[in-house]
Amino acid sequence: MDNDTAIAMASIITAGLTTGIGCMFPALSEGKSVATALSSIAQQPDAAPTITRTLFVGLAMIESTAIYCFVVSMILIFANPFWNHVIAK
Amino acid sequence: MKMTPDQTVFWGHGFITINLTLVTTWAIMLFMVLGAKLITRNLKSNNKISRWQCVLEMIVTSINEQINDVGLPKPELYIGFIGTLFLFVAMCNFWIILPWYQPPTGSLSTTTALALCVFLSVPYFGIQKSGIGGYLKTYIQPTFIMLPFNIVSELSRTLALAVRLFGNIMSGVMIIGILLSITPLFIPIVMKALGLLTGMVQAYIFSILATVYIAAAVQESVKKDKKIKQQKLTTN
């Protein structure tokens, strides 16, 4: 296996792993936060607007970690600097 | 596959290029400015207002309410910036209902520009409200040790703002592109609806986060105002 193949393989496998793992844990934590928010809304329906707003902001924060992973894997596939180096060679 | 509308270049000379992002952004800006101008041409304050004035009043009132809820009293000072951010991002994400439209928020340059605006607006509003000393004091809250962390957080949250919006919109466009080549019949429509929802939520999140950051910068003087009010109440 020469160097070019190794670079291509490493990029593709890492891209898959990045999105896979990076979706798994944010999904778990998002589920947890939504469940907690729902139970607290059930306990205190009066506080629903505040809880919903905070929930949305928190969800966006958690989701952005997944988005970072996605962006990294997109860079690995479509704009890989190492692969560009190989192509230029 | 075209990841961002930056890659569609119409005209270029030197380092000045006119690409699809610029064209769409300016079209949306023109649309919004002309629309606002047309609606506010003859405003009335009696009972018989036009439909469009009613819509605009609803938008302005609800944005004001949201800003107030997050912790910025006197939202009239901030709605010019925050409301524009929200409406612009929401408009950019909303027009994906049109065919062949590529949202300019799916380009990292647009979102970076918006995030930089937020980055600069924080010291602007902070200094306006509590003076340079008062603003700089927010960096050493709660103790002096937190100074480097506060500076790093200022930079990292700007980066996060830009990449969050870009990633969300770009992923929506990518998913639709991929699905079009696999199951082109109905599934892309469902994903487009989901993208519409994500776009609206992201516009909301973007402006709410900007509000939270500005609120953190002007917090000092707000606290002081409250203290003075309480003292007045107790003395009375």
pLDDT tens digit sequence for B4-52: 788 888 888 878 888 889 999 999 999 999 999 998 888 888 888 888 8
The complex scores an ipTM of 0.75
Of B69, B164, B205, the CB nearest to A56: B205
Does residue A30 contact residue A59 with C-beta atoms inside 8 Å? Answer: yes
The structural domains of chain B, with segments of one domain joined by +, span 5-235
Chain A residues inside the 8 Å CB shell of B3: 74, 78-79
Question: Which residues of chain B have a pLDDT value below 70?
Answer: 1, 220, 222, 236
Query: 10-residue block means of pLDDT along chain A (89 residues)?
Result: 86 94 94 95 91 85 86 86 82
d(CA A87, CA B111): 30
d(CA B132, CA A82) in angstroms, rounded, equals 46
**Shortest Cα distance, chain B CAs vs residue A46, angstroms:** 15
Residue contact B164–A57, C-beta within 8 A: no
CATH of A10-81, one of 3.40.50.300, 1.10.300.10, 3.40.109.10, 1.20.20.10: 1.20.20.10
Which residues, 6+ apart, have CB-to-CB distance to B28 below 8 Å? B88, B91, B92, B95, B104
The answer to whether the CB of B178 falls within 8 A of the CB of B187 is no
| CA-based nearest distance B37→chain A, Å | 32
Helices (H), B40-104: 51-70, 79-94
Instruction: Return the pLDDT at B236.
Output: 62
Domain boundaries, chain A: 10-81
The answer to whether A67 contacts B160, with C-beta atoms less than 8 Å apart, is no
Cβ–Cβ below 8 Å for A67 and B168: yes
| pLDDT in the model for residue B206 | 92
Q: State which residue of chain B sits closest to A54, comparing Cα positions.
A: B70
**What residue in A sits closest to B167 (Cα-Cα)?**
A67
Alpha helices in B40-50 (DSSP H): none
Write the single-letter amino acid at B164. R
> Which of A50, A67, A74 is closest, CB to CB, to B164?
A67
What does each C-alpha distance from A6 to A76, A87, B97 come to in angstroms?
14, 14, 42
> Cα B217 to the chain's mean position, in Å?
17
- Measure CB to CB from residue A60 to each of B164, B170, B171 and give the nearest one: B164
Of all residues in chain B, the one with the smallest CA distance to A79 is: B3
Q: Is B60 exposed, middle or buried (0-12, 13-18, 19+ CB in 10 A)?
A: middle
Q: What is the DSSP letter of A14?
A: H
Q: What percent of chain B has pLDDT over 70?
A: 96
Picking from B2, B168, B209, B213 by the largest number of A CB atoms within 10 A of its own CB, the best residue to mutate is B168
